[in-house]
Structure 1
Amino acid sequence: MPSNAHNLSRREFLRHGTTVAAGAAAASFLAGSHRVLGANDELVIAVIGLRGRGNGLLNDFAGIQGVRVGALCDCDENVLNKRAEEFERKYGYKPKTEYDLRKVYEDKSIDAVVIGMPNHWHALATIWAVQGGKHVYVEKPCSHNIWEGRKMVEAARKYDRIVQVGFQNRSIKNVRAAMEFLHSGKLGRIYMARGLCFKPRDSFGQFPDSAVPKGVHWDLWIGPADWYPFNEGKFHYNWHWHWNTGNGDTGNQGPHQFDVARWGLGKTEHPVRINSHGGYYKFQDVCSQETPNTQTSLFEYADGTLLEFGTRGLYTNAEDGITIGNLFYGTEGWMHLNGSTWKTYMGRKNEPGPSSTSYEPAADPMNLTGAGGGNHVENFVAAVKAGKREMLTCDIEVGFMSTCLPHLANIAYRLGRQVIFDGKKEKFVGDPEADKMLTRKYRPPFVVPANI
């Protein structure tokens, strides 16, 4: 990366606020602009990206006692104004509104940011936030590619900020109990996991390029991605299905089941061999989608452990009644995990074993965060207030390791061949063609810096 790319990114960031020295000095200044919270202090958050998942997170956080929403941010002012009005009616107060996330990061009253933006923004938005002294809750997948995901981990550690990835299964009591059971050895050695993402999706059509709608800050929306003219078919939600901004369903719904699969296998390292095959079937002549709607991926770890993943976006049967979920296979039995409901079957005769209705975990691992569907965001709030990263159920490094799996699958799919990965170096073995796909060419000033 050219040396001036990082400086340009920082200058652009700082141009919107107080003028300070550029480069490392600027980053140091920004990282120092945060307050230390106590358990009883109000946590002031900003939510960035408000249309879909971000709006759900906004309401999750707003409902937590001791949390105040200080700012709302979206580069589509039509969405921003709508959410601000809805929020004031529902909660009785009006947060600040900004269309540029950099203005949020300059605001010293904001303790933490919640990132519900499209995938291509997750890494840079997180890095800028921690450099600005903010804690971060970022949606899955945590990054758009593997290289920038590692930079997120480096930034969180350097600036000593708490960063949680939105793999909510990590905070569901029954799922945690299932993982405890898998790791207990009662199913023998878990030699294979299977993740399922069977989610039928119809064509969204093809659209001509057109004028940018009023209120949409298109250059900001594109951010780090390659620039292209406004196109409705590549904008709200449909960005998922184009490689420039999304990662397909393997990298959309899939990351949740990839995370559970890796967790159940007890793997803290990357796989070695990756294969992935499939295609975009049925709608290829009537839809602009680039990512596959059918994809079968296979990962092999150094010890021979296997992870299979099935992505199906057309019409299909379930597997043992599961369309979104996981299956685990051990030398003494197997597990069915569907949402937070799990069952086990033992031996050749498939005799019913412990299940989510009969198994009592050793302890409630979520006792610091309360109960209910908001467990994951409550876990983040509790960790921030306590100033203890170790309280997180999905720290950025945990989330990054799981996020790498769909990225590796997509690289193998796009190359149409097996790839061999060196997990320690986070590079492919003798494969410069594959290595190019570990990162992207960033569009100044929206550059993920090589030196955090």
Structure 2
Amino acid sequence: MKQSRRAFLKNSTLTVAGMGLIHPNSFATPKFSANDKINIGLIGAKNKGFNILSHLMKTGQVNCLGICDVDKNILENRIADVRKEFGQIPKGYGDFRKLLENDEIDAVIIGTPDHWHCLMMVYACQAGKDVYVEKPLANSIAECNVMVDAANKYNSVVQVGQQQRSGEVWNSAMQHIHAGGIGEIKKVNVWANFPYGMGSGKVPDQPVPEELDYAFWQGPAAKRAYNPSHVHGSWRHFWDYGGGLMTDWGVHLLDMALWAKNISHEPRTVLASGANYNMDAYSRETYEVMDVNYPMDDYMIHWSHTAGIQTGPYDKAYGVEFIGDNGVILADRGDWSIRQGDKGESEQATKTAKEGFNFGGKSDMEIHVLDFLHCIRNRNATKCTVEMGRNVALYAHMGNIAVRSGTHMLDWNEVAGSFDGNKAANQFIIPNYDGPWELPKI
């Protein structure tokens, strides 16, 4: 019987034990021959997708066999980049389904706008691929549910691009929190304030550029006339494609608030307000400012964002403040510190908490992609599973839904998978796919 590439890869290296908190030193690059390397395909190559591919290529453990993008200029440039930087010549594709037909490809990166994540991941799982999918997991609650079902049915390893789950800063902070370092946590404040949240400047609709397959770019989303402010980079400010700062940064930072209490349940009650003010000069639909509260029995998570600025509490544009009954931890991607009452920062306590917790200077992304490769070889759960990605995406999406529905307060019924007595909110659970695309049924 012919051995599958997936089984071959699993058998080609020793299992690394003790994967709870993963140290990069556990990932010493195996001395494989070229045939032992994991073959990767990239779908969506402009920015983040190519960044992920570059991190994977730098491990020396992968080959890039294919790149897919609906923009011919981007596709050609990225193929040239891979050839120049890594000495490989991947095949170019304009249709991701053709890339998935290549049986030599073991895993794919999905770096497209959010509205494509679900279809691409489901098709990839059905094709026997493992998947690294960018965050947020999907652009709707129903899509997130389908993606979890697909990963489980087809036994695909999935890493969601919430790389903070792998990083030294966040792991050491969580270790201290879970050990009771600041007592029982009562509340977490989370914020993200960035200029890009305003969207792009308004411009009139224009003819579709020759290099762009705009119909394919839109895919399952409602059809619109082409406008540069709706596509590359700016798409996340339109509901058909993304969820603004609430989902773009919310899934990263709300995930830390959930991790602090090891919360795996779905939201229960959501209270939110949001508004747009500067609409004359900017093209967007998502909210410029938002405040969202997620009350629980013994815990409160508070989210806030303001677009157009780049500062906030503690002079930080973004951050997470964990408030316990014996102190406060302030964290961002660069560092974390302990603050206790009016004593200011507790430098010695912070230093003590971090001792012996060193990931060798590797970035969150470096560790995250190494974890993905390890799990492909050994069929282990990743640091950010599809279930984790789904859970925090639901928190973020429900913040937006509370405001979009005009009801501002939601009660979620986890068993029914809907909002209790709220038709206005329930209409946002399932996306309205434009033909010929259909929401997959698993």
TM-score of the two chains, using structure 2 as the length reference: 0.89
Report the secondary structure of 2:427's partner residue. helix
2:405 maps to amino acid: L
2:420 and 2:312 map into 1 onto residues whose CA distance is 36
Structure 1 46/242 Cα, relative in aligned 2: closer, same or farther at 3 Å?
same
CA deviations 1:36-69 (Å, max 9, x no partner) are: 2233521000011011111211211111122111
Aligned to 2:424: 433
Does residue 1:271 correspond to 2:262, yes or no? no
The alpha carbon displacement at 1:355 in A equals 5.5
Report the secondary structure of 2:376's partner residue. helix
2:5 and 2:416 map into 1 onto residues whose CA distance is 34
Mark the runs of 5 or more structure 1 residues left unpaired by the alignment. 1-31
1:72 to 42, 67, 70: 67
2:292 maps to amino acid: S
The alpha carbon displacement at 1:426 in A equals 2.7
2:383 and 2:243 map into 1 onto residues whose CA distance is 24
2:316 maps to amino acid: I
1:433 and 1:172 map into 2 onto residues whose CA distance is 39
1:265 and 1:189 map into 2 onto residues whose CA distance is 9
2:87 and 2:111 map into 1 onto residues whose CA distance is 23
The alpha carbon displacement at 1:34 in A equals 6.1
2:233 to 232, 237, 243: 237
Structure 1 357/33 Cα, relative in aligned 2: closer, same or farther at 3 Å?
same
1:215 and 1:345 map into 2 onto residues whose CA distance is 53
Aligned to 2:38: 43
Aligned to 2:20: none
2:366 to 368, 371, 374: 374
Q: What pairs up with 1:304-343 in 2 under 5 angstroms?
A: 304-315=298-309, 317-343=311-337
2:351 and 2:343 map into 1 onto residues whose CA distance is 21
CA deviations 1:317-369 (Å, max 9, x no partner) are: 421232212001111111100214111123564562666543247777x79xx
The alpha carbon displacement at 1:249 in A equals 1.1
Does residue 1:413 correspond to 2:403, yes or no? yes
1:65 and 1:192 map into 2 onto residues whose CA distance is 43
TM-score of the two chains, using structure 1 as the length reference: 0.87
**Number of residue equivalences:** 413
1:106 to 85, 101, 108: 101
Aligned to 1:169: 164
2:252 and 2:412 map into 1 onto residues whose CA distance is 22
1:203 and 1:155 map into 2 onto residues whose CA distance is 33
Aligned to 1:196: 191
Aligned to 2:19: none
57-66 or 128-137, which moves further after superposition?
57-66
270-279 or 144-153, which moves further after superposition?
270-279
Q: What pairs up with 1:50-449 in 2 under 5 angstroms?
A: 50-201=45-196, 204-282=200-278, 284-301=279-296, 303-315=297-309, 317-347=311-341, 349-350=343-344, 352=346, 357-360=351-354, 371-372=362-363, 373-389=365-381, 392-416=382-406, 417-449=408-440
1:361 and 1:165 map into 2 onto residues whose CA distance is 29
CA deviations 1:400-448 (Å, max 9, x no partner) are: 1111111010001112321111233331112122111112111233222
The alpha carbon displacement at 1:287 in A equals 2.0
Report the secondary structure of 2:225's partner residue. coil
The alpha carbon displacement at 1:150 in A equals 1.0
208-217 or 63-72, which moves further after superposition?
208-217
The alpha carbon displacement at 1:100 in A equals 0.5
Report the secondary structure of 2:274's partner residue. strand
Structure 1 34/437 Cα, relative in aligned 2: closer, same or farther at 3 Å?
farther
Q: Is the Cα–Cα contact under 8 Å of residues 339 and 346 in structure 2 kept in the other structure?
A: yes
Structure 1 203/112 Cα, relative in aligned 2: closer, same or farther at 3 Å?
closer
1:306 maps to amino acid: M
266-275 or 338-347, which moves further after superposition?
338-347
CA deviations 1:279-318 (Å, max 9, x no partner) are: 1222x112221111111111112x1411101111123642
Q: Is the Cα–Cα contact under 8 Å of residues 192 and 265 in structure 1 kept in the other structure?
A: no
2:306 maps to amino acid: R
2:351 and 2:439 map into 1 onto residues whose CA distance is 46
2:426 maps to amino acid: D
Report the secondary structure of 1:35's partner residue. helix
Report the secondary structure of 1:130's partner residue. helix
Computed over aligned residues only, the root mean square deviation of the Cα atoms, in angstroms, reads: 2.1
Q: Is the Cα–Cα contact under 8 Å of residues 199 and 237 in structure 2 kept in the other structure?
A: no
1:85 maps to amino acid: A
CA deviations 1:368-404 (Å, max 9, x no partner) are: xx94441101110111011222xx1101101111111
2:311 and 2:110 map into 1 onto residues whose CA distance is 35
Report the secondary structure of 2:315's partner residue. coil
Mark the runs of 5 or more structure 2 residues left unpaired by the alignment. 14-31
